[in-house]
Amino acid sequence: MMYFSRLKTYSILGACLIGLLLCIPNVMKAPASWLPWRTVHLGLDLQGGSYLLLEVDMKAVVKERLESLMDGVRQALRPGAIFYQTLEARTEQNQVFVRLRDASKTAAAVAALKPLISTDNASGTPDMQMVSGDDGTITLTLSPVALHARASGAVLQSIEIVRRRIDETGVVDPQIAQQGEGRIVVQLPGVGDPDRIKRLIGKTAHMTFRLVDESANPAGNGPPPPGVDFLQDQDRPGQRIAVRKRIDVDGADLTDARAGTDPTTGEWVVNFTFNSVGSRRFADISTANVNHRFAIVLDDKVISAPVIRSPITGGRGQISGSFNAATANDLSTLLRAGALPAPLTVIEERSVGPELGADSIKAGAISLAVGFLLVIAFMGFFYGLFGWFANLALLVNLILMLAIMSLMEATLSLPGMAGILLTLGMAVDANILINERIREEQKLGRPPLAALEHGFNRAFRTIADSNATAFLAHVALFAFGSGPVKGFAVTITLGIATSLFTSWMLTRLLVARWYVARKPKLLPV
């Protein structure tokens, strides 16, 4: 027990030294770029920043899928002159329902709709089920598997687009990740007020170019005629514009969008460029509709509805509206990043200004320093020399914790700092158990070396058992906790592990070396 081979001694001291080296990156800059320079990151609560939890609106994903399916049904039935009485989406059941006017055409309709069913996925199963009745009804039900695949695709795509939008704002080091099924976590270090980011994320930014239906009257109370939507005019609240449902060019066909000023009027505008598909379609539409109005629609609101003066064939265009520099920039950012597949809602927000973060660091550091001193003083008074051995081990424990956290590039939160302090308080508990045992063994009349042997040996089981339970409790906290609380659980579990090393190996080594050097007749415990 108390004998340490040279190899063992050097390994223990080596581990301590490596720990010390690993801490260095936290206090200085890397002298050379090739060095692995890993540091502990400050949590958002300490450096200031925002944490946003976003939820992808899965209902919208389903709804959109059903709408496009309805569109598909409409187009599939038209060539065969199969007319229907009802065509509706039943969102709750994930299905599209058709009732034909003429029940005898059911077979023909089924045949016409068959190509809509796709088996083009990993499992090779059809993405929907078609059931037809004798009374001329047909239901198309989307399969849960296909919907699920679509939903997860929507989340991944959303993450990509959120990332692009945030990158445009110049936030340094944003972290964007999926959480669970349909959620996205966004962490923005240094952003104390995430207002602008939330505005950018909160827009679907689905832009479409559609023709204005000049025959319909949007001022009336009646429902819009088939194939037409009455949409709000963004610049004139309360005013509605009749816009055809048919999308002529989609915002997805944009390759670039930049804010700028119009050279003649000096107004802020957004200039955009289409890709080849978009250019061609835009050229066709504008050629065929000279002197008619078309609408630029963003998220079901008309941004502007200019009259086409001449065919636009260059694939370039300009959106004017009542923009200022900020809104023009935001819109161009959104258009460049692309549309979200579904709306996102912020369901949790936590933002901390840098001022409060700095205060928290100070509070944490003071507590840590005072707590450390109190524990050290207690151990020194309570056990004398053996207490100081424990204190040295405690210091090494602190270094090792910091080293491993640096290596993991872990995030240090305020609760994490509390966790470190508590770990320090608990780490010396092992030494208390050991020292008490040694004291007991000596009282029983064992000579010093035997008392040390027995003391360390017998205390180990108690230490292992008591630490194991604390470890388990914090593993549960890590599994179910979130945010800063997770950081707390990490520091404590880590601290328990390192304290086993320092109290069990390092103090034993220190005591052994001291014993060999002094050969005391009585242990001062």
Partner 1 sequence: MFIKPMFRLAPDTTRFNFMRGRFLGLIVSAVLSTASVVLFFYPGLNLGIDFSGGIVMQVRTDGAADFTKIRTALTDAHIQVQGVQRFGDASEVLIRLSTQANEQATQQAVTQVRDALAKSVAGARIMRTDAVGASVSAELFRNGLLALGVSLLMILAYIWFRFEWQFAVGAVATLILDVTKAIGFLAVTRIEFDLVMVAAILTVLGYSTNDKVVVYDRVRENLRKYKTMPLRELIDLSINETLNRTLGTSMTVFLASLPLAIFGGQSISGFATIMLFGIVVGTSSSIFIAAPILLFLGEHRLRRDTVAPVAKDATAAEP
Least CB distance to partner 1 at residue 156 (A): 22
Least CB distance to partner 1 at residue 349 (A): 4
41 Cβ contact partners less than 8 Å away, ≥ 6 residues apart: 409, 410, 411, 412
Fill in the amino acid letter for 311. Answer: P
Residue among 286 and 351 whose Cβ is closer to partner 1: 351
User: 156 near 325, Cβ under 8 Å?
Assistant: no
Residue among 18 and 369 whose Cβ is closer to partner 1: 369
Least CB distance to partner 1 at residue 13 (A): 23
User: If we measure between CA atoms, which residue out of 362, 378, 242 comes closest to residue 297?
Assistant: 242
Number of residues in the chain: 525
Least CB distance to partner 1 at residue 436 (A): 5
Fill in the amino acid letter for 401. Answer: M
Fill in the amino acid letter for 468. Answer: A
Least CB distance to partner 1 at residue 346 (A): 5
Tokens of 69: 């399916």
Rounded to whole angstroms, the Cα distance separating 99 from 482 reads: 50
**Quick one: which H or E segment has residue 490?**
helix 484-499
Residue among 189 and 218 whose Cβ is closer to partner 1: 189
Least CB distance to partner 1 at residue 253 (A): 30
Least CB distance to partner 1 at residue 137 (A): 36
Considering only CA atoms, give the Rg of the chain.
35
Residue among 199 and 316 whose Cβ is closer to partner 1: 199
Residue among 272 and 383 whose Cβ is closer to partner 1: 383
Residue among 258 and 439 whose Cβ is closer to partner 1: 439
Residue among 64 and 436 whose Cβ is closer to partner 1: 436
**Quick one: which H or E segment has residue 458?**
helix 448-480
Residue among 108 and 477 whose Cβ is closer to partner 1: 477
Q: Degrees (nearest 5) of the Cα angle 324, 326, 330? A: 115
Rounded to whole angstroms, the Cα distance separating 495 from 198 reads: 37
Tokens of 73: 């049904």
User: 418 near 425, Cβ under 8 Å?
Assistant: no
Residue among 258 and 350 whose Cβ is closer to partner 1: 350
Least CB distance to partner 1 at residue 473 (A): 4
Residue among 254 and 500 whose Cβ is closer to partner 1: 500
Residue among 69 and 496 whose Cβ is closer to partner 1: 496
Q: Degrees (nearest 5) of the Cα angle 301, 305, 310? A: 150
Least CB distance to partner 1 at residue 450 (A): 12
Q: Work out whether the CA dihedral 470, 472, 476, 482 comes out positive or negative.
A: positive
Rounded to whole angstroms, the Cα distance separating 321 from 241 reads: 15
Strands 41-42 and 411-412: parallel
Rounded to whole angstroms, the Cα distance separating 241 from 158 reads: 30
Least CB distance to partner 1 at residue 210 (A): 26
Rounded to whole angstroms, the Cα distance separating 214 from 183 reads: 42
Query: Phi and psi at residue 194, in whole multiples of 5°?
Result: -85, 20
CA 204 → CA 70, 329, 448, 467, 492, distances in Å?
22, 16, 76, 50, 42
Tokens of 444: 């029983």
Least CB distance to partner 1 at residue 523 (A): 11
